[in-house]
Amino acid sequence: HDLPDLLHMIPGWRQRLDDMRAHEQQAKGRSTREGWSGPKTLFDDAEFRPLREQCQQAFLVALRQMGVAEGFAFAMEAWANIHDAGGFNQPHIHREAVLSGCFYLHTPQGSGAIVFHDPRPGTLYSRPWGSGVNTWSKVGMQVRPGMLVLFPHWLEHSVEPNQATEGRYSIAMNAILPRRASQKVVAQ
């Protein structure tokens, strides 16, 4: 999804993330290397409310397309990732989520792609090898500012190393079950 209505807010959000990083220099860990990951409470910050609202709607549409029944309640959690030069994300999944996504704020030339890994172990041993849906593969997606990428929470993914001198900024997020959320239900 492209969210062009939010492009004008990106410079302010980048500054807010830089301020958060300066205040809370210890990264939250997880899969980010050579950079910083913030706490999973970013959508609690009123400055990010417009992003949360548009992402909620995109998640709701995707959940309906997946066959999730009307009235299904979910909450949202989000966190910032800043990859410095050389920064990347190791292969991982978003366990305990219902659906996952990432919104991109700054993707300088050479900052690397998000890579989705084929989850079917049997394809590794299947012949013929080559390209196509029946071969083990990784699919890289070049992203740009203002883009929201949604994917199943169980789909293993990684982020290639940032070869740019500038940082790559993104906001990762999950739709989660309300009982797991510290915040109130945000969509139904």
Determine the pLDDT at residue 138. 76
Determine the pLDDT at residue 73. 87
Torsion of CA 44, 4, 148, 29, to 10 degrees: -50
- Helix, coil or strand: residue 12: helix
4 pLDDT higher than 90: yes
Average pLDDT over residues 10-39: 85
Q: How far apart are CA 124 and CA 104, in angstroms?
A: 31
Closest by alpha carbon to 183, among 78, 51, 37, 70?
Answer: 78
Q: How far apart are CA 52 and CA 89, in angstroms?
A: 23
Determine the pLDDT at residue 135. 60
117 pLDDT higher than 90: no
Average pLDDT over residues 130-150: 80
128 pLDDT higher than 80: no
Could you tell me the pTM of the whole model? 0.86
Choose between 47 and 71: higher pLDDT.
47
* pLDDT tens column, 7-20: 999 999 999 999 99
Indicate the pLDDT class of residue 118, thresholds 50, 70 and 90: confident
DSSP designation for 125? G
Choose between 87 and 127: higher pLDDT.
87
182 pLDDT higher than 70: no
Indicate the pLDDT class of residue 152, thresholds 50, 70 and 90: very high
For residue 81, give the H/E element and its range.
Answer: strand 75-92
